[in-house]
Structure 1
Amino acid sequence: MHRRQFNSNASALLALALAGMPAWAQAINLSALSNADATAGLKATLEKGASAAISLLGQEDGFMNNPKVRIGLPKPLDEVAGMLRRFGQGHQLDELVTAMNRAAEQAIPLAKGLLHDTIQSLTITDAKSILSGGDNSVTQFFEAKTREPLSQRFLPDVSKVTARVGVAEKYKQVASKAASVGLLKQEDAQLDTYVTARALDGLYLVIGEKEREFRSNPLAAGSAVIEKALGALRP
């Protein structure tokens, strides 16, 4: 689709993608919604969702007490964990799980600047992809743009936290053996890279949830820009 065609239809695309409403129900409101308003509304929604996700996850128990994002041992290591508990290592395993989640909670605020820059550099192609995508289009957008640089940014801080827990070295030894026989992905055999990956999974998941929440209720976002753009999409 050419730029001109996209600009002329941007309001309709935004309405249908964000509100999921029939075209006839939005006809009057759409006439007053410019492409600039649509783009600004989308950026503001993503900013608000990212900020809310960072605030929620980047605090103590942000991961630990949220079953959707809580970081546990990789499933293939569950049996090993059970054996260690039978041999009196339960306390150390609990410490490890707590340390993994604390590491994620401490790393999350480091994402703020990069997420902001990514949103502000949003292109027409990016907007098309987000607006025409499904429920996980926002997650896919952020993951494609930020996973690699954020992984590099998170890793040193994650390593500092997990290094304080003695059982972390045992995890690495057991996980490496499991990976060598194909029971565990190689990237999950290294504790710090595993925690970093799960932290990013949680971040993208919550950003997507918040963005969908603001789509369905623009007033909840508390932003005049979002209310103007997304409010016009409601009958």
Structure 2
Amino acid sequence: MKKLTILTVLIAMLAACTSSQINKTIGDINKALGEESLSTEQVVAGLKEALIKGITTGSAEASKIDGYFKNPKIKIPFPPDVQRVEEKLRQIGLGNEVDKFVMTLNRGAEDAAKEAKPIFINAIKSMTIQDAWGILKGDDNAATQYLIKTTSVQLKSKFKPVIKNSLDKVNATKYYGDIVTTYNKIPFVDKVNPDLDDYATDKAIEGLFYLVAQEEEKIRKDPVARTTELLKKVFAAQDQ
């Protein structure tokens, strides 16, 4: 009979268990399988470590120069609800101004991405044992989905001022104001004035979650991505 792995058995058995029951079951399974002891605390700590690693890597990737701008998966485009502005400005020869704005918009997101890590880490440290088992039973991006659920509101409220300051610092707000002003002077067009800060904040957060999900999937599936002994110990159980 094929050897069962510790985490496979746990996922099947521990959906409704209490903390003490989980500890007892882990001990029984470790003993039956002849594995090195793996405690509840180690499993949960391993998941938290994996998330923190993913966040650290994802935030670093997003916050470097061109982290957003040259990554087609997360690059922030001209706001779609005013796409007609971009099209019209390109038609009248102002394509360079539009391109400059899009670059500075992404530079603002790259600058602000540095501030997201502490918010994510605080949510990870608050994760309960039951949260951890829910993640173990979930999809390859289950931990990222947990972060989306637990941090989105707080992240947006704390991230938006950072985004605004970042956009101001790289002159994205000025470029956008100039673009909108120029557009609004064109005869017979519908005037526009959307909230650039909200748009940039939402897209920047969406990009961060995308990168964190990519890192989570690597750690779950690729042994090379497990860079500490705890990660190797916890996630190796899933590979057997």
TM range (shorter): 0.7 to 0.9
Of stretches 44-53 and 125-134 in structure 1, the one that deviates more from structure 2 is 125-134
- Secondary structure of the 1:133 match is coil
Q: Please give the TM-score of this superposition, normalised by the length of structure 2.
A: 0.77
1:197 alignment counterpart: 202
- Asked whether the equivalents of residues 158 and 196 of structure 1 are also in contact (C-alpha less than 8 Å), the reply is yes
2:176 alignment partner, one of 138, 143, 168: 168
Query: CA offset at residue 169 of structure 1?
Result: 2.2
Counterpart of 1:86?
91
Structure 2's unaligned 5+ residue stretches are: 1-15, 185-189
Between structure 1 and structure 2, the one with the greater Rg is 2
- Displacement, 1:194? 0.5
Partner of 2:149: 144
How many angstroms does 1:172 deviate by?
6.3
Structure 1 window deviating more from structure 2 (204-213 vs 120-129): it is: 120-129
- Of 38, 53, 57, the residue aligned with 2:58 is 53
1:72 is displaced (CA, Å) by 0.3
Residue pairs, 1:72-151, within 5 angstroms: 72-151=77-156
Structure 2 residue matching 1:72: 3-state secondary structure: coil
Does the alignment pair 1:40 with 2:45? yes
**Residue of structure 1 equivalent to 2:4:** none
Give the % identical residues.
30
CA distance, structure 2, for counterparts of residue 124 and residue 96 of structure 1: 45
Q: Show CA shifts across 1:20-56 (max 9, x none).
A: xxxxxxx847674332221111111111111110111
Contact 1:30–1:232, Cα closer than 8 Å, also in 2: no
Question: CA distance change for structure 1 residues 219 and 136 in 2, over 3 Å: closer, same or farther?
Answer: closer
Distance 2:205 2:46 in 1: 25
Letter of the structure 2 residue corresponding to residue 234 of structure 1: D
Summarize deviations over 1:158-206 as a string: whole Å, max 9, x none.
223434243312666779xxxxx9xx9xxx9311111111111011111
> TM-score, normalising length from structure 1?
0.78
Secondary structure of the corresponding residue to residue 116 of structure 2: helix
Residue 77 of structure 1: how far off its partner (Å): 3.1
Distance, in Å, in 2 between the alignment partners of 1:77 and 1:9 is: 57
CA 1:72–1:30: 2 relative to 1, 3 Å? farther
Match of 1:15 in 2: none
Residues 155-164 or 100-109, more deviating: 155-164
Structure 1 pair 96/32, CA: closer, same or farther in 2 (3 Å)? same
Counterparts of 1:192 and 1:76 in 2: how far apart (Å)? 14
Equivalent position of 1:70 in the other structure: 75
Aligned amino acid, residue 147 of structure 1:
S
CA RMSD of aligned residues (A): 2.9
CA distance in 1, matches of 2:45, 2:215: 17
Write out the 4+ residue segments of structure 1 that deviate beyond 6 Å after TM superposition: 171-175
Q: How many residues align?
A: 211
Q: What is the identity, as a one-letter code, of the residue corresponding to 1:168?
A: Y
**Structure 1 gaps, min length 5:** 12-26, 176-180
